[in-house]
Amino acid sequence: MDDLEKSPAPSLLPRILIPMKPTPSLCAADLHSGRPLFGASKSKLLATTLVVTLFAALSITSAQELAPTTLILGSSPGACVMTAQLNEKTPSATFKAIDLVPANATFTIAAGNAQAGIVSTSLDSVGGSAMKPLVLVLKDASGTPLPRVQINWQVTQGNGTLISSCVGRQGELTPSSASSVTDSEGLASMGLILGDLPGPQAVRAEVLGGSQSVSLSATAVLAAEDHIIFVQDPPYGAKGDGVTDDQPAIQKALDAAKQYPRARVVFEQNKIYRLVATPDGVRHLTVDAGGVTAPSSALSLIGNGATLRSDVSEPGANGTGIISGSGKWQGMSAADPVIIHGFTFESTHGMTVQVTDALGLNSRNQADAIKHIKIFGNTFKNFARHIDIGGSQDVTITQNTFLMEKGWDSGAYTGGNVCIWMYPETGAGIFTRDTYVTHNFYDGLSALHSTSEIEGPAKACGDGFIFGSSLNYVVTGNRIINFSYEGIYICYAAYRGIVPLAEQTATVTGNFLDGGKGGGWGIRTSYNNTLISNNVMINIAGNGILVTRETNKVDPPETSGEQILNNDITMRADAGAGINVGNSHSARIIGNTVRVPAPSAGVVATGIEAGGGGWHVNYDPKTNYLVDDLKLEKNVVQMKSNDAGSIGGTSIGILIWNLTTPFSVAGNQVMDADQGLFLKEQLPPLTPPYSRADYEAGNHFVRCIKNVWR
């Protein structure tokens, strides 16, 4: 360790912690339960503050430049974190300690071992299945449960997928490893989705900070009616050598598979399948499960790490999509879906006036067609729309990676590109419904690109992760970075003429969004009944959260029932409002934290804005676009640092205008704003009239210059 020293360690100390190197540097540390933990500073600074779990302490550097403190570990096993810092303006150093599990503790199987289930189904009681999760119990030598201990799980045989939160398709999927924590009874559980192919499965669980481990087994079997087709077998003969055009061979395998009620088309492990031919002039492969009267086909695609590469390098080649699914392509049920798993989908297309996509799942205006589809554990590279869905029912998109290696120029449609594009089929009034987009990763600029190809700074990255509409839309746990427009846009579908407002619901929760080299808006919705909660956003250049009606529709003029709760938003300088709600009924903006940097000269920066007229339109008495029944409560708005100096522009903590009664603006804290609360003119005036005190009561303004009433 450069520039670091170790404190003398008693011979009985069994564990050495690894420090993070800060400025000033801290040395390594040693611990034993109930014995001192020493930290040492190489800095000439006089004092170091240490915050240890629930208590804080001060220590002074000695003549040897050491600043020690003592940490008594907790009464139960688990992790402990201690931070050392001179003051809030200096870097900090972090020490991590683990209170070890006693060597004589018992770690045994409580439930779920040696089960057998259908391939690709869950051992977690999803959909009423008789299958149960894997459950272990940890106790000390006297039989007392050990709570709050981390258990690490690993798939050791088969290609099963762990479900760390053990709640099925909305749980956090990991390819082969996950962790859980023991509860008050010492129990730790884990769900397991069995592998795609029949055979034995095995999972190993280990106690963090202990020597205990347990192995569990399961068996994946085919359903009685399942049929497996390997694309390399005769009469198909796909090569997977990255040179041969494998399109004809793979298509032959897909056509053969759809004659069976349920089938699996399996690709060779880690092969590269080059696709050149496009029989329909657009997409390379078609999974057409038949027309309206044909029986449904539960046809799953199993990648085994294979790559499907759309190659347009040959003269005349113009494939813009890899797989088109249509007709009655559907799983048996929500608990037994069609699987698309284990592929890398790759486009080599340059800029084009046509839309490129990897998966197109479209009902083709057929009722009850595309449903019960699960797309997980895949990688998508360089498509205008990686997944294009229309008129589907019950589609789960989870644990995939989406990459735009050249940003906006990555195999992209010149009219713009969004990772997941979702819409209803209008011809027969087919609704897209029950869509789950969970725990995916999107990077709209994952590699260096040629700036000469970019059409302006707004096109540096892919447009965003999601655009579209679905009845019952769940978007949770995704990590989204580098986007030029909306990271997530849940749009109002009735402008397409078919979606009833009363059926609109959307949940956007627990996502992380980093505008990165793009910026854009974080989350935008024009839906009714959208819950936007517990999301974290940074580097946002538009609005962190934007709620507004569509730009070109008068009917309906407002959104309704939006809940914006407990989000954490950090804006860029000179960006839009952290939260902007316009033309809305019964919006709830509660418990959010918004940080807005100091604006440049001539720029107005706003933390939270709520008002009639919204983002696209000004107030019009003929259409009466207002915000009514608003609750804006318990938010924290940090507008600028005390050290920012002269800010040049104007910062407004909370901006309110064109409200109607009833409303509540209370319990908010605004810090370091030029105008803590800005009340614009009410059109028409409120009845009964509200005074300035009615707005200001119960709010707290810290280091704000003034409030404004107009």
Q: pLDDT at position 231, please? A: 97
Task: Read off the pLDDT of residues 41-89 as tens digits, 9 standing for 90 and up.
Answer: 333 222 233 333 334 456 666 666 677 776 666 656 666 677 777 665 5
Q: pLDDT value at position 689?
A: 60
Of residues 213 and 491, the one with the higher pLDDT is: 213
Token pair for 544: 């962190």
Closest C-alpha among 417, 415, 411, 341 to residue 381 = 411
Cα–Cα distance for residue pair 167/424, rounded to 1 Å: 28
Q: pTM above 0.85?
A: no
Spatial distance between the Cα atoms of 298 and 260, rounded to a whole number of angstroms? 8
As a whole-number percent, the residues of the chain with pLDDT over 90 amount to 34
What's the average model confidence in pLDDT over 318-345? 85
DSSP 167-236: SGGGS-EESSEEEEE--TTSEEEEEEEPPSSSEEEEEEEEETTSS-EEEEEEEEE--TTEEEEETTSTTT
Report all structural domains of the chain as residue ranges with CATH numbers, in order of start: 15-99 (2.60.40), 106-221 (2.60.40.10), 579-710 (no CATH)
What is the per-residue pLDDT for 457? 45
Region 103-126 average pLDDT:
84
Q: Is the pLDDT of residue 6 over 50?
A: no
Q: Which residues pair with residue 191 across a beta bridge?
A: 163
- For residues 254 and 498, which has the higher predicted lDDT (pLDDT)? 254
User: Is the pLDDT confidence value at 614 over 60?
Assistant: no
- Position 564 confidence tier, pLDDT thresholds 50, 70, 90: very high
- Identify which has the larger pLDDT, 316 or 539: 539
Check whether the bond before 684 is cis (ω within 30° of 0): yes
Q: 46 vs 237, which has greater pLDDT?
A: 237
Pick from 110-119, 306-315, 451-460, 558-567: least confident: 451-460
Report pLDDT digits (tens) over 267-309.
999 999 999 888 777 788 988 755 444 556 789 999 999 999 9
Work out the pLDDT band at 550, boundaries 50, 70, 90: low
pLDDT at 139 over 50: yes
Give pLDDT tens digits for 438-477.
999 999 887 654 443 344 444 577 888 998 888 888 999 9
Q: What is the pLDDT of residues 630-689, one digit of tens each?
A: 899 999 999 985 444 445 788 999 988 777 666 788 999 999 998 898 877 665 555 556
Q: Could you read off the pLDDT of 474-507 as tens digits, one per residue?
A: 999 999 998 888 999 988 654 444 556 667 788 9
The pLDDT mean for the chain works out to 76
Using alpha carbons, select from 485, 654, 492 the residue that is nearest to residue 580: 654
User: Which pLDDT score, from 0 to 100, does residue 630 have?
Assistant: 85
Answer whether residue 594 shows pLDDT above 60.
yes
Q: How far apart are CA 311 and CA 284, in angstroms?
A: 10
